[in-house]
């Protein structure tokens, strides 16, 4: 079985450790744990991860957040991956820092990366993992907040939360979304 695991983020070193790039950070953490290397490919960087008779194509789009749908659509078609066998990893302002919320479908919630996927695929019924980044910003400063680096307190807690995300990705591919939701949501 094949799966597409897409981490949302923006390419470039200036965005590397920002809250908005948590999708990239989760995939980098998984790649580091499993000694995987990302390679430049069409519309992004990819790595293949074989796990328990499953193939996970890890994708970090290079299209910038608001055009992520183009990369997702391309790799789903290129690899003939069923639409429901994808998982999108993204940040979420509506959740407290480090909260993980796995859902099988939903709205874009104002997130430009999810909005792009919805526009390109005309679908909202795909699994997504929302990683809470909190909303510690004043009115009109949302963009600055999501594009800023983690606080030192958050940075200290990130490794444990990233480990949980990697477990969740593996569980999604092996036990399915319903069981993974029961095991990880609100934990």
15: tokens are 């965005």
Q: 131 by DSSP, 3-state: which? A: strand
pLDDT of the residue at 129: 97
pLDDT tens string 119-152:
999 999 999 999 999 988 878 888 889 999 999 9
Contact in structure between 46 and 59 (CB atoms under 8 Å)? yes
- Point out the residues that are catalytic: 20
pLDDT of the residue at 137: 82
pLDDT of the residue at 187: 65
Q: What are phi and psi of 12, to 5 degrees?
A: 110, 145
Q: Measure the CA–CA gap between 21 and 83, rounded to whole angstroms.
A: 23
CATH number at residue 89: 3.40.50.1470
DSSP category for residue 14 = G
Reported as type and span, the H/E element at residue 120 is helix 112-121
Query: What is the number of structural domains in the chain?
Result: 1
Range(s) of the domain holding residue 167: 2-184
pLDDT of the residue at 138: 78
Q: Measure the CA–CA gap between 28 and 107, rounded to whole angstroms.
A: 26
Q: 79 by DSSP, 3-state: which? A: coil
pLDDT of the residue at 25: 97
pTM, two decimal places: 0.95
Q: Residue ranges of the chain with pLDDT lower than 70?
A: 187
């Amino acid at each position: 079985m094949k799966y597409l695991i897409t981490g949302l983020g923006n390419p470039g070193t200036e965005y590397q450790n920002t809250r908005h790039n948590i999708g990239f950070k989760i995939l980098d953490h998984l790649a580091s744990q499993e000694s995987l290397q990302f390679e430049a490919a069409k519309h992004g960087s990819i790595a293949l991860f074989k796990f328990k008779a499953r193939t996970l194509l890890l994708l970090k789009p290079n299209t910038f957040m608001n055009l992520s749908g183009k990369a997702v659509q391309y790799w789903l078609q290129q690899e003939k991956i069923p639409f429901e066998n994808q998982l999108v990893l993204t940040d979420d302002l509506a959740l407290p820092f480090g909260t993980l919320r796995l859902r099988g479908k939903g709205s874009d919630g104002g997130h430009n990366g999810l909005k792009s996927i919805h526009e390109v695929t005309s679908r909202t019924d795909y699994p997504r993992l929302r990683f809470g980044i909190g909303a510690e910003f004043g009115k009109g400063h949302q963009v600055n907040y999501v594009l800023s680096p983690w606080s030192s307190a958050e940075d200290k807690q990130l490794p444990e939360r990233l480990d949980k995300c990697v477990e969740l990705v593996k569980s999604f591919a092996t036990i399915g979304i319903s069981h993974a939701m029961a095991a990880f949501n609100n934990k």
